[in-house]
Amino acid sequence: MNFLIVGDIIGSPGRTVLKEYLEKNKSKYDFIIVNGENSAGGFGITSKIAETLYGLGVNVITTGNHIWDKREIYPYLDSESRLIRPLNYPKGVPGMGYGIYEHKNIKICVINIQGRVFMPEIDSPFERIDEALENMKEENPSIIIVDFHAEATSEKIAMMWYLDERVSLLYGTHTHVLTADERILQSGTGYITDIGMTGSFDGIIGTEKDRVLEKFLTSLPQRFEVCETNLRINGIEANIDEKTGKCISINRINLSIDEI
């Protein structure tokens, strides 16, 4: 089964490049996952944007620390299983940390977890994913895919070994920089530290560079704006055997809008 997984969509420039890519390439994929935590002007996601993404052919939207930026999404998170937020926020907050989606008669589980190194303090992603994997044993999904939204490469590689053999694919998001370390462990678990971002590459991880530089230079708060030129899509395509749940191949995608 062919999966397309797209790195953080940054505002309307990110949505434009995703639309262009999917219009031309959607038919190559069986199932499409995107990270939408920055899809509304760089901060969070709205229900309208989520619906637009499903309309383009997206099956599941994962998120991260920015999921809470737009309050209107809170009730939507409780009603829409195709939009998930990191699992390891304290119990009782809106939304779900994973979903099991029946697609072409195959049960696909997508889990979103968040790191704790240089990130907001939340529950242990290690403990909470154990709990989730235990809880879904009865449903027994054929394929399990994990978006680990985290800053530190060490935490992501630690999670790779922790989930070795237990999931089909673990990929990182949040840094917005595509890494070149994709690999498949002997057990058949696929891994890449970060799948990058989709949007403008003329800024600083998607944001207008002057404001971000000003913040680094002065430490004063700034209003960040999404950057709009030099658009690229970042992500991976992964082939996963639906019978064994093992990852067969991972290919990076890093294309300018003109190369699509």
Question: Which parts of this chain interact with Fe ion (CB under 5 A)?
Answer: 8, 37-38, 64-65, 174
State in angstroms the smallest separation of the CB of 45 from Fe ion.
11
8 Å CB contact between 41 and 226: yes
Task: With beta carbons less than 8 A apart as the criterion, state whether 83 and 63 touch.
Answer: yes
The nearer residue to Fe ion, 65 or 198, going by C-beta atoms, is 65
Enumerate the H helices of the chain as residue ranges.
11-25, 47-55, 73-79, 125-135, 153-163, 209-218
> Interhelix angle for 125-135 vs 153-163, to 10°?
30
Nearest residue (CB) to Fe ion, 1 versus 119: 119
Rounded Cα distance, 153 and 42, in Å = 23
Q: 142 Cβ partners below 8 Å, 6+ apart?
A: 106, 107, 108, 242, 243, 245
Neighbours of 103 (CB within 10 A): 14
Q: 66, 149, 174, 176: which one is catalytic? A: 66
Nearer to Fe ion, 85 or 246 (CB): 85
CB of 89 to Fe ion, least distance (A): 13
Return the number of the residue (174 or 246) whose C-beta is nearest Fe ion. 174
Closest distance between Fe ion and the C-beta of residue 8, in Å? 4
| Residue 130 vs residues 28, 98, 109: alpha-carbon distances, Å | 33, 13, 14
Starting from the edge strand earliest in sequence, which strands make up the sheet with 98-103, in order? Answer: 98-103, 106-114, 143-149, 169-173, 190-192, 183-184
Nearer to Fe ion, 232 or 246 (CB): 232
Least distance in Å: CB of 92 to Fe ion?
22
CA 59, CA 221: separation in Å to the nearest integer? 37
Taking the complex as a whole, the smallest distance from the CB of residue 1 to Fe ion amounts, in Å, to: 26
Tell me whether residue 176 is one of the annotated catalytic residues: no
Query: What amino acid positions are annotated as catalytic residues?
Result: 66
